[in-house]
Chains A and B, each alone.
Chain A
Amino acid sequence: MKRTRIRPPIAQLLLVTLGLAAVPSAALGQAQTNPAILSQMSIEDLMNIEVTSASRKEQRATDVAAAIFVITQDDIRRSGMTTIPDVLRLAPGVQVAQINSNKWAVSVRGFNSLYSNKLLVLVDGRTVYTRLYSGVIWDAEGLMLDDIDRIEVIRGPGAALWGANAVNGVINILTKSAANTQGGLVRADAGRSGTQAAVRYGGAIGSGHYRAYSQWTGRDESLIAAGTRADDRSRDLTTGFRADWTTPPGALLLEGAFTVGQARALWGNLDPETFAASPVSADPSESKGGHVLARWTHTRKSGATFQIQSFADVVRRQEPIADYSRHAFDIDSQFHTAIGARHDLVAGAGLRFIGEQLNGRVGSALTPPDDHSRLVTAFFQDEIALLGKRLAVTLGSQVQHDSYAGLGVQPSVRAMWSGFSRQRIWAAASRALRTPSLVDRGILVAYPPTPTDAGLPLFLSVVGNPAAKTETLVDAEGGYRIEIAAAASIDVTAFTGRYQHLQTQEVSAPVVEFVPSPRLVVATHFGNRLEATTRGLEISGHWTPLPAWRVDASYSAFRVAARLDAGSQDPLSALTDGNAPRHQWQLGVTFTPGAHATVHFAAFHVGRLASAGVDAYTRGDITAEFRLMGRLSAMVIGQNMFQAAHAEFTGDNSLLQGTQVARSASVRLRWTFR
């Protein structure tokens, strides 16, 4: 599939520019020229580097121009974190806010929400966003963090290559090849915020390898305020496998997983006919889901590759407000080849069928309650080497046909200059589309009544718009990277984006109704009457002053200026700050005194969220890992050290209530065996 084929070269670019000491072995499919990094690799990794004609093409592919950050397995491990959204805090320019103990709002470059709808998330090439609201149900992916090879976070539009929904970012999660997870692993985490237990075993199967794993996560309650628990426990169990066979010239990947979970949350009053005090506890959400994926890659002697991938997934959720189910089937192919000495071409096509059903309970409904859609995509990208390979220009476009939104074109042009030693300068212009979700088109939410001065209670409702428009983004960005020997690197990106047809909530004139009881009724309809201009700056870097020390730091600034179309009845939306702070920064310091211990400290500062009314906070984490004997290690983890409890987000217009994240301490034991 297009995603995975392009990934390794981009990862390499990062390895080169950031001078990462830990080189994920799956990224080593191709060679590169940085001697300092090569000398850090193991002999096995060196022996895996392609030195044939393929290297010429791959060499060029290292220079893909995009704002990208790679979270490595080492980063994940020393962070002490146990969920994917938390791990994403490590990337610059990503907004991660915990809503309650088991829900997160995650976005890149703003427009953050529990229902963030401009982000594409992939796990091993499988799209995990749901078309219901074009967002990601983060608690449905019980990924075992130990088996993740790396997470590539691409800020900015990636639609030309990645397709639907890659509007303001792409998060590409890649798990390790089964060959790299041989033997057994047992891990247990226990502490204030919850418990997690994971078991994995990998072995050989014919000429290939497999692993099977299971992970149980139990998350403890967050707080309503310091000292008051929020009744939002959750638990989930994921069991899965991955198998890889490599028999040149072909390679086969099979994977699958099944997750069952239960989550409690604090809700607002769910009954639109009563004035019950808010918040209330409701029945837990029950969820189950699973997927299978297969991918075949054929590599020709020339280095050209052909890949075909297919996946199917099923999701079923019973929420206090609605029952939701989805089944999806996707097939995708991709061809990648060099043409002459200058052109590197990737082209592909895909087809996806999605069937979804939402049956509302009290206060919500979807019209029509079920939907079957078809998405056809095709894309090409050509990277052209110019000026003696110092300049690489990449032209690409994706064309999609959506059974609801019709034809969409998402082109991009990128250029990278690598004529100065250890430096890269790049620029890109792209267009990306966010097609309307089922919720945008057909939702009805009736909010519980609010008393008013007039004496009549106010009944507010939100109504979808069957004629919802596609949101568009035209984005320009540019960046500079410099690597200062192998010891330090700096990466700077500036961007500006222009969004059109952003969703608004158009308020109709109040109506007085007398049945079933006297009331004031105000309906708001979704419109597309907002334009916004975003701009921002993202700086990240690392520094290794001494072999035992490593410092990582990043800073991001973000601004959004929104303008309403004349005639819009949603004045508040023009005041949005995109639920992203104007400033956020992070600092990580890692000290490795020897082979037996690693101490890591991290601070994450998130500025005030003005629209949501959430104060600025600084999260402080510290971890210390000790290798006790042989293959057994122990880690002590302290999270949110600076405050007893703090809020990171609000319920965000949904009936779900935001809570506070508490300070916590936990212990992790990790044992590996052959």
Chain B
Amino acid sequence: MSERRAGRLWRGVAALAVALLSAGARPGAAADAASAAQDAALKAAFVYKFAQFTNWESLAAGAPIVMCTAGDEAVSAALVDSLRGQSINTHPIDVARQGENTTWSACHVLFIDAGEVRRSTGGLSAIRTLPILSVSNGKGFADRDGIIELYVDRGKTAFAINIDATARSGVRLSSQLLAHARIVRDRDVK
């Protein structure tokens, strides 16, 4: 390439730059979808981590750990994505798909989306004494029968664990998990 051709190349680049800058200045609204997918992936990762630090006495060696979700299809999809073929100790992981007529009593882990918590308070109390690790991002979840509540603190994800609800359900949580949690008890409820 001669100097002149190189010069033309850079003029071309400059023209492209101007074109793109003006195109880019038009308002767009595609960011939120990506942001939502990211949120779901992060929630799914937390759910998986929580399961790794949980012990179900009723779980036979080699039996699958069943993970269920209610309300947020994206979290369910992210769980399927990340946990395909994975296992925890000797237990393979099954992700119960949305829409299938899953009975919650068959679940070991249940993620309930914030919107769903508001709708199904009754259903929640039905599982409070079953060995199900319930997780939700619903506000106040851990104050009302739920075991783990995900919340955002200064831009980062944190979680609260209701140890009374944990005891009622019969699942056992590792101290490593408790060490990272804000611990709440039933009597904290106003």
Contacts and interface: CB of A to CB of B under 8 A. Distances in A.
Interface of A: 31-36, 38-39, 41, 43-44, 46-52, 54-56, 59-60, 248, 340-343, 382, 384-386, 388-389, 393, 395, 411, 413, 429, 431, 474, 485, 498
A393 B25 CA distance: 13
B10 A32 contact: no
A59 B38 contact: yes
Given A389-B31, A395-B21, A50 B156 contact: yes
A389 B139 CA distance: 32
B20 A393 contact: yes
A32 B180 CA distance: 22
Interface stretch (B40-48, B103-111, B115-123, B163-171): B40-48
B21 to A, nearest CB: 7
Contacts of B27: 340-341
A389 B30 contact: yes
A50 B153 CA distance: 10
B21 A41 contact: no
A431 B152 CA distance: 44
Interface of B: 1, 6, 9-10, 13, 16-17, 20-21, 23-31, 34-35, 37-39, 41-42, 44-46, 48-49, 53, 78-79, 81-84, 86, 152, 154-158, 176-177, 180
B79 A50 contact: no
B157 A46 contact: yes
B72 to A, nearest CB: 14
Given A59-B35, A413-B16, A35 B45 contact: yes
A282 B28 CA distance: 68
B42 A46 contact: yes
Contacts of A56: 31, 34-35
A38 B45 contact: yes
A413 B25 CA distance: 18
A38 B29 CA distance: 26
12 contacts: A33-B34, A35-B44, A43-B180, A46-B42, A47-B157, A56-B35, A248-B154, A340-B27, A341-B27, A389-B31, A411-B13, A429-B13
Contact of B37 (A33, A39, A411, A413): A33
A33 B30 contact: no
B35 A55 contact: yes
A31 B30 contact: no
Contact of A55 (B17, B38, B48): B38
Contacts of B37: 33
Nearest to A52: B155
Contact of B41 (A33, A54, A413): A33
A267 to B, nearest CB: 42
A46 B46 contact: yes
Contacts of B26: 342
Contact of A38 (B41, B84, B155): B41
A35 B13 CA distance: 37
Given A51-B156, A52-B155, A36 B10 contact: no
A341 B49 CA distance: 32
Contact of B23 (A31, A382, A386, A411): A386
Given A35-B82, A384-B24, 14 more contacts: A33-B34, A34-B41, A39-B49, A39-B83, A46-B42, A46-B49, A47-B156, A49-B42, A49-B157, A54-B155, A341-B27, A341-B30, A431-B10, A498-B1
Contacts of B84: 485
A384 B44 contact: no
A52 B35 CA distance: 10
- Which of A48, A51, A385 has the largest count of B CB atoms less than 10 A from its CB? A51
A36 B180 contact: no
Contacts of B49: 39, 43, 46
Contacts of B82: 35-36, 38-39
A403 to B, nearest CB: 25
Contacts of B177: 43
Nearest to B13: A413
A43 B179 CA distance: 11
A51 B41 contact: no
Nearest to B153: A47
A485 B26 CA distance: 35
Given A33-B37, A50-B156, A51-B156, A39 B10 contact: no
B188 to A, nearest CB: 22
A385 B176 CA distance: 41
Contact of B34 (A49, A248, A389): A389
B20 A384 contact: yes
Contacts of A46: 42, 45-46, 49, 157
B92 to A, nearest CB: 14
A389 B17 CA distance: 18
Contacts of A48: 156
A50 B35 CA distance: 12
A59 B34 contact: yes
A468 to B, nearest CB: 19
Nearest to A43: B49
